[in-house]
Amino acid sequence: MGTGYDCFDERAHTDTPLIDADARKNRQLLSRAMEQAGFSGYDKEWWHFTYSGAGPRKDVMDFPITPLQASNLLDTSHQLIVVTSKNWTDVQGTAQRYVRRGSTFEKYAEPFAVVLGKSGLAWGKGIAENVEQRQGPVKREGDGKAPAGLFKLGTAFGYDSSASTELPYLALTSTSECVDDSHSRHYNELVDGATTTRDWNSSERMRRDDDMYRQGIVIEHNTPASPALGSCIFFHIWRGPSSPTQGCTAMDQADISRLFGWLDPRQSPLLVQLPETEYEHFRADWKLPER
């Protein structure tokens, strides 16, 4: 189909030119079958359909909605990356991989060093938790902070035309951009600037003159996007072990190459990124492993 389910970048648009002929044919086949059954598709998500057939409306069910808890999400994950820093303002951290063994997580391989945003960490819009109600800073666009919280991992990307990874992969071109203008309908999206109607005044060029984005992975912070809460957050290659980022989490190229080969979407991988004190505070409630 050209992307995995729940992919939100431009390749998920139903009629995108960024997928091959077989994927376009498959999407057309799916769309026709769904339309014949009374469903209409959403043009920005090939997998998203809404039933529009005739018939009486069903009774509306009125019941309280319980927020999804981090512990429930972690119960379904079999791969976990934990990034911790000494405090909210530290720009250096440590990453440790874990794999599920029965009801618990066990450490996988050795920990490795990472660098964080130039202003440290702040609660980001991840999954499961209302960050506005948390104690501590909250991430905003342009604040130089990496997001703290619990996050899914999205598309891998890089300069090469293909990559050895189970993650969906986007080969970057000279026109690949990540939109950081919160007034744009493409805010926090990876787009092809040559084929996308431009409604933004600010973006980041993804095909750089350095190696920082030679290999990277989207961290699904602020997805779907809310204005001004931060954009374009990735794992990527660092400039060096003491050079912080603008808000991403960066590491040595050998370490991100290992993540490319290890991460498997079928294992529902998650990222937990927190200062050490917050990690210990939430460890029992979120069912986090010991560091």
pLDDT at 267: 95
Q: Where are the domains of the chain?
A: 1-61, 70-286
CA distance 266 to 51: 28
**Spatial separation of the C-alpha atoms in residues 1 and 11, rounded to whole Å:** 10
Q: What is the pLDDT of residue 218?
A: 97
Over the chain, what is the mean pLDDT? 91
- Quick one: which of 175, 193, 194 has its CA closest to 184? 193
Residue 168 is predicted with a pLDDT of: 94
Band (pLDDT 50/70/90 cuts) for residue 67 is low
Mapping DSSP to helix (H, G, I), strand (E, B) and coil, where does residue 85 land? strand
pTM: 0.78
What lies within 8 Å, CB to CB, of 90 at 6+ separation is: 116, 120, 121, 275
Confidence band (pLDDT; 50, 70, 90) for 59?
Answer: low
CA distance 168 to 272: 21
> Residue 247: which region, alpha, beta or left (left: phi > 0; alpha: psi -120 to 50)?
left
Nearest CA-CA partner of 4 in 46, 43, 32: 46
In the prediction, which pLDDT does 128 show? 59
Alpha carbons 147 and 272: distance in angstroms, whole number:
10
Which residues on neighbouring strands pair with residue 120, listed in sequence order?
A: 117
The mean pLDDT of 214-238, rounded to a whole number, is 96
Q: Torsion over CA of 200, 222, 280 and 106, rounded to 10 degrees? A: -110
* In the predicted structure, residue 11 carries a pLDDT above the cut 90: no
94: Cβ contacts below 8 Å, ≥ 6 apart = 83, 84, 85, 111, 112, 113, 114
pLDDT tens column, 175-199: 999 999 999 999 999 999 999 999 9
Whole-number pLDDT of residue 65: 61
Per-residue model confidence (pLDDT) at position 208: 94
Percent of the chain with pLDDT over 90: 75
Q: What is the SS3 assignment for 215? A: strand
- The values of phi and psi at residue 283, to 5°, are -60, -45
Mean pLDDT of 29-49: 91
Residue 268 confidence class, pLDDT cut points 50, 70, 90: very high
